[in-house]
Amino acid sequence: MPIRPILRYPHPGLKTVCAPVTSFDSALSDLADDLLQTMRAAPGVGITAAHIGVFERLTVLELDKADGVRIYANPEITWFSGETMVHVEGSVSMPGATDEVTRPKAIRFCYQDMRGHRHEEDASGFLAICIQHEVDQLDGVFWLQRLSRLKRDRLIRKWEKAKS
């Protein structure tokens, strides 16, 4: 269960559309464990396999210790509410950079668990925001693409200056 290196923005891998998980075996469990340890070390509340250069549709969330760890293979959003909310987002691939993003307040999504069993759930609030953020990443959409060009350019300049 090693902590893996995280791809940093603007790595081209962060624009990669991830392939579906097809093998629900010990290698997938090991990958999920590595993701969890890497996310905690970053620190963050969500991470995808793409963040560590493994381009499979796997994400791990831990919004808080009381709720526990959530692992989703092949998550897909099937419904979005018309009501939106604004939330401050960032990425383990761009530490220290955050901005407000507007997303649907509630979603319905399906996914497979670590044994390959399909599930469907509704989510709202912070959980819905996090799932949308991570599914975007699995689809090759880095969170910055959800910002206006002005906000995105300003944030990138600020982030690049900070890492110099």
Mean per-residue pLDDT for 74-82?
A: 98
pLDDT digits (tens, 9 = 90+) for 5-57: 999 999 999 999 999 999 999 999 999 999 999 999 999 999 999 999 999 99
**pLDDT(65) > 90:** no
- Is 90 within 8 Å of 74 (Cβ atoms)? no
Mean per-residue pLDDT for 52-63?
A: 97
Query: Active-site positions?
Result: 134
53 burial level (CB within 10 Å; 0-12, 13-18, 19+): middle
Question: What is the average pLDDT score of the chain?
Answer: 96
**pLDDT(67) > 90:** no
Residue 2's pLDDT band (cuts 50, 70, 90):
confident
Q: Report CA-CA distances (Å) from 50 to 23, 42, 152.
A: 17, 15, 21
CATH number assigned to the domain with residue range 12-163, chosen from the 4 options 3.40.50.970, 3.40.50.720, 3.50.50.60, 3.90.45.10: 3.90.45.10
Single pTM value for the model: 0.96
- Is 108 within 8 Å of 122 (Cβ atoms)? yes
**What's the rounded Cα separation, in Å, for the pair 30 and 35?**
9
Looking only at the bridges linking them, the beta strands covering 106-112 and 46-48 are unpaired
**What's the rounded Cα separation, in Å, for the pair 84 and 82?**
6
